Homo-oligomer: A and B are copies of this chain.
Amino acid sequence: MRQAQKEITVATSGQGLYEISDAVRAFAESSGIETGLLTAYCRHTSASLVIQENADPDVQRDLVAFFKRLVPDGDPLFVHTIEGPDDMPAHVKSALTQTSIAIPIMRSVLALGTWQGLYLFEHRRSPHARKIVLHVVGS
């Protein structure tokens, strides 16, 4: 049993999904682990992680549209508006999705399903550099 860790940075340019499957897959493969568990962890509270369909780009568009309607920017319910109308909605969207996701490694391959992609979900309008820690344990 052994483990490996790596922090990657994702440059974002506005609200939306940014696929990180390839970077995560490359890290998993470079670890040489055949059987194990990979965990991705997002170090922010206004961006999060989500696994979604990676085939039709409309899925990503629709997902972003749904969250925008569910948690509208500028909602008068919110008191915390220090960083603008998309500040508090970003925190809520992060709470509604995931901060950490674990994916098994089977026969040296990340067990993502055929249509699954791993995405950073950026909830802020302005550009950000998002830090994601990858951890793998196995043998």
Contact = CB atoms under 8 A, between A and B. Distances in A.
Interface string A93-118: 01111111111101000011111100
A96 B96 contact: yes
Contacts of A15: none
B39 A5 contact: no
A40 to B, nearest CB: 9
B51 A79 contact: no
A120 interface: no
A73 interface: no
A67 to B, nearest CB: 8
A45 B52 contact: yes
Given A53-B91, A71-B66, A116 B58 contact: no
A92 interface: yes
